[in-house]
Amino acid sequence: MRQLPQPSTADIDLVRVLSALADPVRLELVRALAGGREPLSCNVKEFDVDITAATASHHWKVLRDAGVTTTFASGRNRLIELRRSDLDQRFPGLLDAVVAGAGR
């Protein structure tokens, strides 16, 4: 399995992370990742969002480019997981606070 390009831990930028999490669909995707087993398939049918596969692909790319998620590719399959430890290292408690706040 190969990992798709993503920023290093030191290059994760708070503004980009918050911008990525500001979109309701991306926030729901992150909540699903945070609340379940990881890694998850990027298949949009597994999530509680009403978007096309192309739109989901865009959202996953934004999250990966911001440093929120990691994507692993194996053939045509993609598995996604949160970069929880990297985010906690850069911004302690941010991910938990955003996910908890979104659940209200």
What is 2-102's CATH number, 1.20.1250.20, 3.30.70.20, 1.10.10.10, 3.40.1160.10? 1.10.10.10
Mind listing the pLDDT tens digit for each residue in 74-87?
888 889 999 999 99
Q: Where are the domains of the chain?
A: 2-102
Q: What is the pTM of this model?
A: 0.89
Nearest-angstrom CA–CA distance, 103 and 48: 14
Q: What is the pLDDT of residue 60?
A: 92
pLDDT-flagged residues of the chain (< 50): none
DSSP for 6-74 reads ---GGG--HHHHHHHHHSHHHHHHHHHHHHS-SSEE--GGGSS----HHHHHHHHHHHHHHTSEEEEEE
The pLDDT value given to residue 104: 60
